[in-house]
Structure 1
Amino acid sequence: MDELQQKLPVWNINSLAEYYLQILDKYIIDYRQACARFREERALFFEELQEVGYLAVFPSQANFFLCEVTHKYSARELAEVLLREYDILVKDCSLKRGMYGKQYIRIAIRSKEENRYLAGILKYKL
């Protein structure tokens, strides 16, 4: 039994994780390029969202932005209008723990085209 335990890896991993580790080197360049494109798109989308007069956009390192709806709408109203009229889903965070009573929405960072479309709606149609 001791001999078997010595031959086991330090961390036991499942077969999916093991496969990923085996192919990681093959795709590392693609992965880094995708990350760079995402960071660039996030920066551009952040700039566009900052132009929306009724949103205060918080900087983010994630795949979404937290925005405070400062006037014109409540977070719930804005989320409902976007869904009903434009089929765009944003998360109303006004009832989340720690944000109760504050008007916050969460906007996902998506493709360049989808981000431009949403920014255009927020800036010019609402």
Structure 2
Amino acid sequence: MTTPITSLQKEYIRLLDGSSAAMTIAGAHMASGAFVGVPWQNLTFVGCEFAGDGNIKLASMSGCKFIDCQFLSPHHDFGVMTDVSFTQCQSVGRSIVCGGDGSTGVLFQDCSFEGGGSAPAAHEGSDRSAAFRSARVGAR
């Protein structure tokens, strides 16, 4: 079970302040937060759920890790992504998470993509901006 990010005060503030201090955010449901125009740096998300439509519109993202997270048909703008990894994550429905033009070092490792247009071939972003290793694509 996840907790709304707005209920995790320290973590919520960190996501809004744009600082580069390392932090792990575990078990958060991100739909209740609104993150617009800020950079996310050096963050590790573990077991978080990303849903909602457009509540995340970042300036950029760098040095971030997503581990065992779920992306439930969101359409988020992670900005230009640099050295960002997704490990054992699940995307359900049409999820857009690859970052903007100029993104580099984006890795999807042991992730699954199910239903909608979430398959790796349908990702949006720069050509060659993302790598997919051991990706599983299925229909729902």
TM-score class, shorter-chain normalisation, is under 0.3
State the TM-score, normalized to the length of structure 1. 0.23
The structure showing larger relative contact order (alpha-carbon pairs under 8 Å, at least 6 residues apart) is 1
More strand by share: 2
More helix by share: 1
Higher Rg of the two aligned structures: 1
State the TM-score, normalized to the length of structure 2. 0.22
